[in-house]
Amino acid sequence: MNDILQINNASVSFGPPSNRTDVLKDLQLSVKENEFVAVIGFSGAGKSTLMNLLSGLQQPSSGEVLYKGESIKEPGPDLGMMFQNYSLLPWLSVLDNVKLAIGAVEPKISKSELDEKAHHYVKMVKLDHAFDKKPHELSGGMRQRASLARTLSLDPEVLLLDEPLSALDALTRSELQDQILNIWEKDKRTVVMITNDVDEAVLMADRIVPLTMGPGATLAEEFEVNMARPRDRHTLNDHPEFMRLKSEITKFMMGLNKESKELAADIIPMPKVEPKSFAPPVLSPTFKQNPVSRKGNNNVA
């Protein structure tokens, strides 16, 4: 058995015992070594909570989360987490942020080695022009790269990427996707990435696991991505397998959305009341209100 990460029947609930809400319920997941798994889900489904579970920042209310067959009691550098909101220390420069991480993992490292190693990781994410910059002097994409450099510098067994590219514009995004893939291919390790972008998931992952709508979200039937690597993003749109997977997953996700809306049918219907106007009628053009689009999440598609 070479499952490096495993979730067995784990649930996470919040709130007092009398009024508990299950955020995640009956999770089942196993990740093989050197596998790239993408978890896809809607905003608010509990993706970050799932990530916290995997990194050990949070303990499951029931069930267990295993790393190399042992239950995860506390977070550690082996499970390298890249936080959704960068979490760079704002009073340190990019280089010092990376150095702090390396110093924490290898306390006995010499000063010159530390320096060299930190430079290496910053260069790896192509931030060498911004060594001495403080996080607030960087753009969103650069911050995310700095955060990635810090996570990589831990030399983790498992990379946990929590929506690493969500805040980026399309161009920077594809650039960073390539970088992550490059790093992963060069230096094989296990990756669990959370995303809300189907294209991204299909492009990058070996396996895609959808997370259903919360509350009580759980991991649904997974999709295998059987496409040869390296995958070329330029010809991807002509790849029949890519198109098939994309449409299938999108359909599945849209179905989830619809399902959840039907589930939410017990919303108390509001009486249709309109305030009576006592104002005298005015001769002015009136606007018809545009029907609000109720097409759930625009990220999916």
Partner 1 sequence: MKLLKQLKYSLLKVIDLSGLTFLAPIVRLCYGEEPKVQLQKIGQWILVPIAGVCAFLFLWHITSGSIQTKSGTLPNPVETWQGYNAIDTQAEREGLKKTSYELVGEERDQMLADAEDRLAEVKVQVAETNAAVTAAKEAVDAQTKELIAPLDKEYKELKSQYKAASKARKAVLVTDADSLKAGNVAEYNAYYEKVEESVVKTAQEKEELSILKKKIDKIREIKSPEVAKALLEQTFAAEEAQYLSKQIELLSDRNRAVQVETATGMISTYNEEFLSLTGKAAYDKARSIAKAKERLSKMESSSYAQPATIWYQVKRSIFCVFTGFIIGTAIAVPIGILCGLNSTFMAAMTPFIAIFKPVSPIVWLPIALIIVSGLIPDPDNNPLMLFLWDLPLIGEYKINPAFIASAVTVALCSLWATLANTALGVASIDKDHMNVARVLKLGFFARLFKIVIPSALPLIFAGLRISLGVGWMVLIAAELLSSSEGIGKFVWDQFNNGASDSLAKMMVVVFLVGIIGLILDRIMIVFQRMVTFEGSVSV
Among 13, 68, 105, 248, binds partner 1 (CB under 8 A): 105
> Taking the CA atoms of the chain, what radius of gyration do you get in angstroms?
23
* Local structure of 225: helix, strand or coil: coil
Per CB under 8 A, 106 contacts partner 1 = no
Instruction: Choose between 95 and 205: whose C-beta lies nearer to partner 1.
Output: 95
Instruction: Choose between 24 and 98: whose C-beta lies nearer to partner 1.
Output: 98
In whole angstroms, the minimum distance from the beta carbon of 154 to partner 1 comes to 8
* Local structure of 25: helix, strand or coil: strand
- For 245, residues 6+ apart whose C-beta sits below 8 A from its C-beta are 202, 208, 223, 225
Sheet holding 70-71, edge to edge: 21-32, 3-14, 62-67, 70-71
Size of the site for partner 1 (CB under 8 A): 24
Among 12, 23, 50, 79, binds partner 1 (CB under 8 A): 79
In whole angstroms, the minimum distance from the beta carbon of 55 to partner 1 comes to 7
Footprint of partner 1 on 133-172 (CB under 8 A): 134-136, 154
Per CB under 8 A, 42 contacts partner 1 = no
Per CB under 8 A, 266 contacts partner 1 = no
Residue found by looking up tokens 């990756």 in the block? 191
CA-based torsion, 59, 60, 63, 64: positive or negative: negative
Region near partner 1 per CB under 8 A, out of 75-83, 196-204, 228-236, 260-268: 75-83
Angstrom distance (rounded) from CA 170 to CA 123: 22
Among 36, 42, 67, 83, binds partner 1 (CB under 8 A): 83
Say if CB 184 and CB 34 are below 8 A apart.
no
Residues 43-72 vs partner 1: string with x where CB under 8 A? Answer: ------------x-x---------------
Q: Does an H or E element contain 13, and which?
A: strand 3-14
Angstrom distance (rounded) from CA 212 to CA 267: 20
In whole angstroms, the minimum distance from the beta carbon of 146 to partner 1 comes to 13
Say if CB 221 and CB 251 are below 8 A apart.
no
**Which residues of the shown chain bind partner 1 in the complex (CB under 8 A)?**
55, 57, 74-77, 79-81, 83, 85, 87, 89-92, 100-101, 104-105, 134-136, 154
